[in-house]
């Protein structure tokens, strides 16, 4: 089966983590030549072929390196366009990209989001086969004030393509249900009609009963990862028929699950009535497995034939944060 030709929808991809090393290197080279950076070559910091980052080594890649490289409009625009090209080349026809609004020495968080939306619109004008929507992320390390500012940015940019709010970031931050500090922001997001997805029970530290209760009370529309949830949460997820964003290579390569691909909880959830599954790459720039490869992996490790793979790809349509017209476009693509 040609997994690149299979039309695919990507609902769990972090923008900065999706930038290829080659693209980071190009930005670095340009900046180095004009003496705009003292940073090391990204190909030395993140050598090609190295994909075994764990939770301790993964998050600092952003805070101590990539964010320091991508500080200006040109590099943000260039890398965003490059990420969109990579997804398009992999056969993705609908993409929900998520990103944490961030200020740099030369950009406000507001300007950062505006640049992304303009890069997305320009790309779509030339490549109408790929439609991209933006989800803004609240990082667990943020303060409630920053989370409220992210919500305000999301609401202000709804008509330009922001469709939802996400909770992401290092799962060891705010353990024991302390993410409850964000409850007013996420409830307000839902009240105002934004859609919500959260990184759910991604690590043991973020799988406490207190946290699962807090997150489920936000009435999220989708859940990312779902690795460490308890039996009560499993039943509630099934009862609500939530969409699960499962990222196999990320989980296996980062050692977040045991037993390799065969041991991944995709195998458990695929037969549960109610929930829908959407395969995602999470951070293809770091873990190196494009969405087409994720479909190949589940086909191989879980013995799914062509019909089952097409059925899996279709499952996510009703769970996208795009509107009815977009869902109809995707149904037409999948059933023709």
**17 sits near ligand IMP (criterion: CB under 6 A):** yes
Nearer to ligand IMP by C-beta: 31 or 199?
199
- b/e per residue 154-165 (b: at least 16 CB within 10 A): bbebeeebbbbb
| Contact range with Zn ion by CB under 5 A, out of 43-51, 143-151, 154-162, 278-286 | 278-286
90: nearest Cα among 284, 331, 316, 301:
284
**282 sits near Zn ion (criterion: CB under 5 A):** yes
- Taking the complex as a whole, how short is the minimal distance between the CB of residue 168 and Zn ion, in angstroms? 6
Strands (E) located in the chain: 8-14, 92-99, 131-139, 162-168, 195-200, 222-225, 243-246, 276-279
Beta strands 8-14 and 162-168, pairing class: unpaired
Which residues touch 71 (CB under 8 Å, ≥6 apart)?
Answer: 104, 105, 106, 107
Beta strands 195-200 and 243-246, pairing class: unpaired
| Contact range with ligand IMP by CB under 6 A, out of 15-23, 38-46, 121-129, 176-184 | 15-23
What percent of the chain is helix, strand and coil (3-state, nearest 5)?
50, 15, 35
| Contact range with Zn ion by CB under 5 A, out of 126-134, 214-222, 236-244, 281-289 | 281-289
Nearer to ligand IMP by C-beta: 15 or 316?
15
Binding ligand IMP by CB under 6 A: which of 99, 157, 249, 289?
Answer: 99
- C-alpha R_g of the chain: 19
**202 sits near ligand IMP (criterion: CB under 6 A):** yes
| Contact range with Zn ion by CB under 5 A, out of 33-41, 70-78, 274-282, 304-312 | 274-282
Catalytic one among 40, 96, 188, 202? 202
Nearer to ligand IMP by C-beta: 8 or 14?
14
> Is the dihedral angle over the CA atoms 89, 66, 322, 156 positive or is it negative?
negative
Nearer to ligand IMP by C-beta: 16 or 20?
16
Nearer to Zn ion by C-beta: 37 or 80?
80
Does the annotation count 26 as an active-site position?
no
> Which residues contribute to the site for ligand IMP (CB under 6 A)?
14-17, 62, 99-100, 137, 139, 168-169, 199, 202, 250, 282-283
| Chain contacts with Zn ion (rule: CB under 5 A) | 282
């Amino acid at each position: 089966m040609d997994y690149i030709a299979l039309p695919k929808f990507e609902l769990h991809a972090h923008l900065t983590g999706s930038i290829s090393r080659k693209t980071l290197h190009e930005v670095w080279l340009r900046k180095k030549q004009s003496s705009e950076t003292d940073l090391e070559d990204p190909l030395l910091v993140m050598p090609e072929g190295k994909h075994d980052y764990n939770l301790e080594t993964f998050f600092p890649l952003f805070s101590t390196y990539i964010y320091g490289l991508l500080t200006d409009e040109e590099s943000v625009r260039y890398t965003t366009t490059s990420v969109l090209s990579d997804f398009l080349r992999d056969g993705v026809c609908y993409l929900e990209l998520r990103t944490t609004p961030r200020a740099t020495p030369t950009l406000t968080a507001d300007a950062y989001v505006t640049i992304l939306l303009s890069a997305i619109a320009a790309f779509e004008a030339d490549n109408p086969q790929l439609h991209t929507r933006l989800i803004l992320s609240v990082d667990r390390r943020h303060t409630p004030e920053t989370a409220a500012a992210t919500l305000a940015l999301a609401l202000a940019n709804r008509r330009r393509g922001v469709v939802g709010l996400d909770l992401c970031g290092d799962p060891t931050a705010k353990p024991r249900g302390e993410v409850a500090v964000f409850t007013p922001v996420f409830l307000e997001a839902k009240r105002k009609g934004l859609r919500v997805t959260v990184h759910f029970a991604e690590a043991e530290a973020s799988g406490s009963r207190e946290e699962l209760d807090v997150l489920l009370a936000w009435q999220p529309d989708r859940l990312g990862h779902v690795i460490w949830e308890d039996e009560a949460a499993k039943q509630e997820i099934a009862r609500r028929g939530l969409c699960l964003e499962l990222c196999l290579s990320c989980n296996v390569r980062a050692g977040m699950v045991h037993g390799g691909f065969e041991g991944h909880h995709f195998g458990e959830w695929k037969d549960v009535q109610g929930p829908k599954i959407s395969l995602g790459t999470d951070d293809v720039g770091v873990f190196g497995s494009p969405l087409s490869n994720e479909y190949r992996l589940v086909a191989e490790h879980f013995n799914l034939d062509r019909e089952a793979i097409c059925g899996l790809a279709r499952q996510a349509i009703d769970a996208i944060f795009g509107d009815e017209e977009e869902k109809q476009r995707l149904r037409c693509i999948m059933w023709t």
